[in-house]
Structure 1
Amino acid sequence: MSLFRKVGISCYPNISNLQVTSLGAVNQVRNATKKVSGSKTNKNDSAGRRLGPKAHEGNFVKPGQIIMRQRGSKIHPGENVKIGIDHTIYAVEPGYVRFYHDPFHPLRKYVGVSLKKDLNLPTPHFSPRVRRFGYELLTEPSEAKKEEDHMSRKEYTYQPKLEEALKAENELKSRITSEFEDALRNKFKLVLNQEDLKVALTRFYDIFQLVKIGKPVEDAKIQATYNFIHDLKLTERRAEISADEFLSKKAYFEKFFSSLDSQVTVDVDGSLIAYIAEEERQSERQRISKTLHSTYSNRVLSVKERKEVESLICTPGVFDLLQRYQLRTKYTPSVVPFSVPDSVIEITDVKNPPEGVIIQKIFDEAARSTRIVGRPREVFAFRK
C-alpha cells in the first residue's frame, strides 16, 4: 500500500482531486473552473456617432468649422486644417475644401483648405506659400462702418483706460510743444515760418520721447531725422508728392535740421537748452565727476549736500538719463552702505538711543550673529 501511494502520488500530483475506491482503483474528480451566470441581452442599440465628412470637395468653410469626423486617421490633416484628440479635422482658415494625395505620402489621403477657389492642393514643394492677410475691400458704406466699429470684448473693456491714456498723452504733448515754442521765440529768438515751426516742434518732441526712455541725445537726433525722411518717402510712394519734390524737400529739411541742432538741443528733463559741443560736454562730465569723487565720495551726506550733488548731476546737457541714474546710485543711494565711515554707531542703551539715531538690527559676519546698532538719520535718503 505504501508503494501504491507513492506511485499514485507521483502519477497524480494534484492529490486533492483523487478518490480511492474500496477495490483499490483511483478515480480523478474534475471540478468546475468557470463560474456560471445568467446572460442578459441588450436589445436597445445605441445611436450612431454620425461619422464621416461634414464638408465636401469644393465647399466653403470658415475657421473652426468641422470638415471630417472619424475614428482613427483614415483622412489625414493637410494645409490650413488641424486635427483634434478624437481625430476630428477642422478648418483654421476660411477657404474651400480639397481632398488630395501628397506625393511624399502616396498611401495617405489628405484633406485641406484652399484659400482661393481656383487653387488646388497640395501646394507644389518649391512654390511660395499662399497667405491670407484677411482684408477685403468693402464697397458698401454701412458694411464698412460696421467693420470699423467692430471690436472684441477685451478692446471694448479697455476703451476707457485707452481714452484716458490718450488724453494724458495729448495733454503732455500740448504742454511740451507749447513750452518748446515759447523757448524758440523768446529764449533763442528764432524766426521760423509756420511750416518750419511745426516741423521743428514735432522733431523736438520726438527727440524728447526718445531721450525720456534713455536714448542719448545725439542718437535721438539721428533717429528723429531718419523718421522724418522715411515719412517723406512714404508720401512720395503714395504719389502725394513727386520724386523731384521729395528730393528737394529732403535736401531742404536735412540742412534745416543741421542748422537747428547746432543752436538748440533737448535736455533730459524735457527743456530746450543751447547746443553743447561734444568736446565741451566731455570736459564738463570729467570736471563734475572729479568734484563728486573728491568732495562727496564715501561719506554720509547731509540733506544740503545731497541737494548739491543732485544739482551737479542735473547740470543741463551734460549727462544722459542712464549716466544720471548711475551717479545717483553711487553718491546718493537710498540707504548708505555699512562700509561707509560713520554710517554705523554702537548703541549701549537700546531703549534710549541718541537723538537723530535710528536703531537697526544687522548681521555680524565675524561673530556669525545678529547685533543691534544705530544709524544716523542722514543714512536714509527718504528721511528728513
Structure 2
Amino acid sequence: MSFFQHGIKSSSVSVSSAGTSGFLSQVRHATKRAAGSRTNKNDSAGRRLGPKAYEGHFVKPGQIIMRQRGTTLHPGENTDIGRDHTIFALEPGWVRFYYDPFHPLRKYVGVALTKDTRLPLPHFEPRMRRFGYEEILDADKAIQEEEHMSRKEWMQQSELQAAKAELEAHLSQKREEFGASISGKFDADLELATDRMMSIYQLVNNGQSIEEAQIQTTYNYVYDLKLAVQRGEVEEAASKSLKETYVELSRKIDETFSIDAQGSICGYISPEDKLKAQEATLSQLKSEYSGKILKLEDKRAILDLIQTPGVFGKEEQNKLKKQFLPSVLPLSVQGTVKENLDPKNPGKGITVVRVFDEKTKNVKVIGRTKDAFVPQ
C-alpha cells in the first residue's frame, strides 16, 4: 500500500519496524523552519530628567525648572506642577530651592520676584505679587488702552448701558424718596444726610445688617477725610471739625430713621423693642402657620409678618422664608401624604414621590396631594 494514497508525505514521515508484532510507528517532523529570536540591542532615548534651572538662575513665565518622575521637588512660590510632575515658573524671577518649616521633609523650588529675596517668606506676612502694570506715558496710547475692550464686551455694550441707565434711575428715585422723608428734620444738612441714607441703603441691599451698614458708612466718611488731608484738599483742623459734625449728624439720623431689608425708610427701633418684636413675630408664626396646609392668603400673611419694617434683616428674612414658606410642606403635615397607592395609577391630583423611611431604613413610594406644594 502506498503512503500517498492516505495523503501523507513521505518526506515528513519516518517508518520503523515494530518487531514481530507487525505494527508500524510513525513520527512527524516539522516542515517549516522555526524563527530565531531577535534581541533589541538599542535602548530608547533618555527622558532628560533633572533640573533645567539652578539656584539663582533667572527664569521667565512658563520656563521649565525641573523634570522629574514623582515629586522629588514640590512646587513653591510662583511655580506650578504639570501632569508629568514637571515644575515650571509662573512669574519672571530668580530660582530658589528651599525647605518649608511646615513641611520639613519636603524640598521646594520657587521663584523669587527680586534678586535679593530668599524663600520661604515669613508665613504670616503678606505675599509678594507682581501686577505687571507699567505707566503709559504717551497720552494717545493711554486713551487707547483705557478704551480697549474684548469683542464679547463690545457686543454687550448695549445691554450694559441699558442696565447702567436702569440702575442710575433706580438710585435717583431712591435718593428723592430719602430726601423727601428726612427733609423736615435735617434741612441744614439735607445733602449730607441723604448721602448717608443712600450709602446705608446700598450696604443693606448687599446683605449687611442695619447696624453694620451704619458703622461702615461712618468709617468710609472719616477715611475719605483722611485721604483728603493727605492730598492737601482739606486742612487738618477743618477735617476734625467736619468729622465731629458728621458723627453728631449720624447719631441723630440713626436715632430717627432706619432702613428695612426691602430698602424702604422706616422709623428707628431700639434694640430692646426689636428683640421683643422678633420674639412676638416668631411666636405668632409658629402658633398660627406651623404644621398646617398653607393657602395663598396664608402665604401673604406670613410674608407680611416676616417683612415687618425694621424687625428682621435680609439674611434673617431669608431663613424665615425657608422655614415657614417651603416649596414643599414636610411629611408631618396631616392631609398631604397618601400611602399604599398604585404608582402607575396614583389618582387625580396626586404626585408620586420616593422618600427614605427612617424606621425601616428603606426607600418607599408615597403620594403627595396638591396641598403639599405651597403656591409660589
TM-score normalised by the chain length of structure 2: 0.63
> What is aligned with 1:280?
273
Contact conserved, 1:347 with 1:374, CA < 8 A, in 2?
no
Q: Which among 78, 83, 87 is matched to residue 57 of structure 2?
A: 78
User: Which 5+ residue runs of structure 1 have no aligned equivalent?
Assistant: 1-32, 36-71, 105-114, 116-120
Matched, 1:134 2:156: no
Secondary structure of residue in 2 paired with 1:265: strand
CA contact (8 A) 1:335 1:381 kept: yes
Listed one character per residue, the Cα deviations across residues 21-47 of structure 1 (whole Å, up to 9, x for unaligned) are xxxxxxxxxxxx9x9xxxxxxxxxxxx
Q: 1:295 to 1:247 in 2, by over 3 A?
A: same
Counterpart residue identity of residue 255, structure 2:
S
Q: 1:372 to 1:86 in 2, by over 3 A?
A: closer
> Cα distance 1:279–1:137, how it changes in 2: closer, same or farther (>3 A)?
same
Residue pair 1:301, 1:378 contacting (<8 A) in 2 also: yes
* Paired amino acid for 1:136: E
Q: Structure 1 stretch 258-267 or stretch 211-220: which is displaced more? A: 211-220
Counterpart check, 1:220 vs 2:217: no
Check 1:124–1:215 CA distance in 2 against 1; reply closer, same or farther (3 A cut): closer
Q: Does 1:179 align with 2:172?
A: no
Partner of 1:243: 236
Alignment of 1:1-384 (within 5 A): 78-79=57-58, 81-82=60-61, 83-84=63-64, 122-123=115-116, 134-136=133-135, 138=137, 140-153=138-151, 155-185=153-183, 189-193=184-188, 196-345=189-338, 353=347, 358-363=349-354, 365=357, 368=362, 370-375=364-369, 377-382=370-375
In 2, distance between residues paired with 1:74 and 1:215? 52
Instruction: Give the Cα–Cα distance (whole angstroms) in 2 for the partners of residues 144 and 307 of structure 1.
Output: 56
Gaps of 5+ in 2: 1-35, 39-49, 68-87, 99-112, 122-127
Conserved in 2, the CA contact under 8 Å of 1:303 and 1:378? Answer: no
CA distance in 1, matches of 2:115, 2:341: 87
How far apart in 2 are the matches of 1:242 and 1:266? 34
1:278 Cα deviation after fit: 0.7
Q: Partner amino acid for 2:133? A: G
Give the match for residue 23 of structure 2.
Answer: none
Match of 1:373, as an amino acid?
G
The count of corresponding residues between Structure 1 and Structure 2 is: 287
Q: 1:92 to 1:329 in 2, by over 3 A?
A: closer
Displacement after TM superposition at 1:359 (Å): 0.6
CA gap of 1:135–1:246, structure 2 versus 1, over 3 A, is farther
C-alpha distance in 2 between matches for 1:167 and 1:338 = 47
The alignment yields a C-alpha RMSD, in angstroms, of 4.3
Q: Distance in 2 between matches of 1:84 and 1:144?
A: 34
Alpha-carbon distance in structure 1 between the residues aligned to 2:320 and 2:117: 62
* Deviation for aligned residue 1:322: 1.7
Mapped contact 1:273–1:317 kept (Cα < 8 A): yes
Question: Which protein is bigger by CA-based radius of gyration?
Answer: 1
Identity %: 28
Q: Distance in 2 between matches of 1:250 and 1:369?
A: 65
Instruction: State the SS of the aligned residue for 1:145.
Output: helix
Once residues 207 and 259 of structure 2 are traced to their aligned partners in structure 1, the CA distance between those partners, rounded to angstroms, is 13
The question of whether the paired residues in 1 share the 8 Å contact of 2:257 and 2:267 is answered with: yes
For the residue of structure 1 that corresponds to 2:266, the secondary structure is strand
